[in-house]
Structure 1
Amino acid sequence: MRQRPVNYLLLLLFIMLLSACSPSSPVTVQVDNVNARVEVASTPNQRQRGLMHRQSLGKDEGMLMVFPTPQEVSMWMLNTKVPLDVGFFDQQGVLRSVVQMQPDGGKQLYHSPPQTLYALEMNRGWFDRYALVPGARLKLPYALTAE
């Protein structure tokens, strides 16, 4: 029985759409000398979905959001069940602030400093546990860009 090529094209398109919406494979980044295994969210859909619907994160696991240009960004905890800390980094990879976020159904918005290019979401207390304060440096395994 011969299959139609259109079926293969539709399947390929479906797979491409699914992969565009999901976070990338985890990579290891460092803040000062502390390793974090993170998913990279570099598209608008990935950043909007963030860590929604996760039941838990590993000890040093999280998400790195990469924005297309340095800017003030706003974050929420819509459909996010895990209490998080988010560290906001500028384009030089310097940590500018850390904000604690509590699951609240997306009621509160959390704002970054101006000129934020990266937002690192980790389990609540992660930055304190490793004494990572403003001025700490984010080191990426390779250049990351965003849509």
Structure 2
Amino acid sequence: MLNDYQKEFLDNLIRHKARFLIIGGVARQHYQGWHTKDLDILIDIDERREAIEAALQEWKRRYAIHTILDLAPPLALRPMVQMKFPDDLCPYQDRNGDVREIGPDNGVDVLTTLPGFAFADLYARGNDVIIDGIEVRILSQPDVDQTGKQ
């Protein structure tokens, strides 16, 4: 379901204890067998902001191509921001040590806001699941259905 680049991104968020939710196609895929290539994540910019900033700074050190993270501090951690990783073709090393290339369609979209929804409410209703061996929190099925209507 997830590629190694996406798994590495999730591992980075988890290692920094950032609070986030899996949304979009991967959440829909978990409940309904939907097919998707990218990974959509909603991050909590109110709680544990330092954890998000640390995770994104580490990601920038690992992948210098991610120029969206070159913005003057603080990072683009304000409402209504979407960050796409990668925003162009990017080499990465898979779990076998092979160098591969990934494009935006197979990457990670990070959102700071889901219009009409409060992160805390979505998080409280979310479910802890294991996707490809990684424990993550995803939107509840009713919230997947509701957010998909917008």
Output the TM-score relative to the length of structure 2.
Answer: 0.28
In terms of Rg, which structure is larger?
Answer: 1
